[in-house]
Amino acid sequence: MIGYVSVGANDLTAAERFYSAVLPRLGYGLEISHEGLSYAIPATGDGPRPPDFYVKPPHDGKAASNGNGSMVAFEVPGQTLVRELHAAALAAGGSTEGSPGFRAAYSAHFYVGYLRDPQGNKIALYSSDPTKPGRPD
């Protein structure tokens, strides 16, 4: 199980604006410290919880850079919310890497929108609820 995910950022103000437009609607709370931004979903019960998500300047003091081929995907409860969050992230300084929609290469119910945060980190917002309408084939 993944415990946490961390991405680098040089501009924490821009990163906070971007991620706070999306993650609180998925249940994440935000803690800001001298180390950066920490988004977490509060623990409920004894079961595992989703990994925390950190946005921080690199520990080595060098400039943050995005990984080529790296992506963090957040599961979203429903296609409508994927569209809403994608639009909110764009309005908060992100850029699109693929508008929300079905992708022929994936399952009939996999609905996804791709983004880049202000630092250039790639983010996916997806829903794959089999009870919702799927891709028309």
Q: Per the structure, how many domains does the chain have?
A: 1
What is the domain-level CATH number for residue 96? 3.10.180.10
* Inside any domain, residue 49: yes
117 pLDDT tier (thresholds 50, 70, 90): very high
pLDDT in tens, 46-97: 778 889 999 999 999 999 998 888 999 999 999 999 999 999 999 999 999 9
Cut 0.85: pTM above it: yes
Give the CA diameter of the chain: 50
Distance between CA 116 and CA 136 in Å, rounded?
Answer: 28
Cα–Cα–Cα angle for 90, 94, 100, rounded to 5 degrees: 55
Distance between CA 55 and CA 95 in Å, rounded?
Answer: 18
* Inside any domain, residue 134: no
* Inside any domain, residue 133: no
* Inside any domain, residue 82: yes
Domain around 108: 4-58+65-127
